[in-house]
Amino acid sequence: DSAITKGRFDEQDVLGMLRHLIQHRPRFKVMLAGSHTIEEYQRWASYLINVQVLHISYLKEEEARKLIEYPVQDFTLRYEPDAVDRILQITRCHPFLVQLLCSEIIAYKNEQDPSVRRLATLADVEVAVTEALITGSFFFADIQNNQVNATGLAILRSIAARGEGKIVSKNTIYQQLPDVSENAFQQLLQRELIEEVGDGYRFQVELIRRWFARGVRSPTSTP
């Protein structure tokens, strides 16, 4: 969409070609994937009139456990139960983040002595989190730069600074950011970045919260 807006691609040519494939080439299947919702591209509606919208969200817990413990056949690394639970907790079963974090755990274990290399512990998970924030920086930066505006970013940083699992009341956010509109909260909810809990909000995914908390001073006021 950005390329079309900037004139790098012709909207009628590109989207018209996709519409033609969808309507006249039944043996072709076209899949458009992204973090933005179809509601944000209403001007595309006439081109995508026959598409089906599928919302892809978190894995089920049993699916995530299988991905962690048995990603491939004959996988030799084993996890302590607390380590698996922590991965599920910190990623909320987000498919990419589960794989990102587990990849860093494997890389970290491969550097250890063979006597402890085959068992991942809770401490290993916490070490891997730091590396995951670095190696997965493109994922997190895309959220920061392309999925939220300046107001949304300010809200995320405000909530992130409170700490893991903390619920921040809407009144507290308004006191800190008086120009925030209701639409800003709705956009973050729609993006599944935050969730509403009572009269406040918290991050859905702890690993994402940690990205936005980096370099942000924790406030001393009450939530």
CATH of domain 141-213: 1.10.10.10
Q: What angle do CA 196, 194, 57 make, to 5 degrees?
A: 110
Residue ranges per structural domain of the chain: 2-44, 61-135, 141-213
CA 109 to mean position of chain CA atoms = 25
The pTM (predicted TM-score) of the whole model is: 0.84
Q: Is 61-135 a domain of CATH 1.10.8?
A: yes
Is the C-alpha dihedral spanning 171, 185, 197, 122 positive or negative?
Answer: negative
Q: Is 100 exposed, middle or buried (0-12, 13-18, 19+ CB in 10 A)?
A: buried
Q: What is the pLDDT of residues 18-77, one digit of tens each?
A: 888 888 888 888 887 777 777 777 777 788 777 888 888 899 999 999 999 999 999 999
Q: What is the pLDDT of residues 109-141, one digit of tens each?
A: 999 999 999 999 999 999 999 999 999 999 999
> Is the separation of the CB atoms in 195 and 201 below 8 Å?
yes
> In terms of DSSP bridges, do strands 78-79 and 200-203 run parallel, antiparallel, or are they unpaired?
unpaired
- Confidence (pLDDT) at 204: 98
- 221 has a pLDDT exceeding 50: no
Can you spell out the DSSP letters for 132-163? HHHHTHHHHHHIIIIIS-HHHHHHHHHHHTT-
Distance between CA atoms of 195 and 213, rounded to whole angstroms?
17
Distance between CA atoms of 86 and 201, rounded to whole angstroms?
22
CA 95 to mean position of chain CA atoms = 9
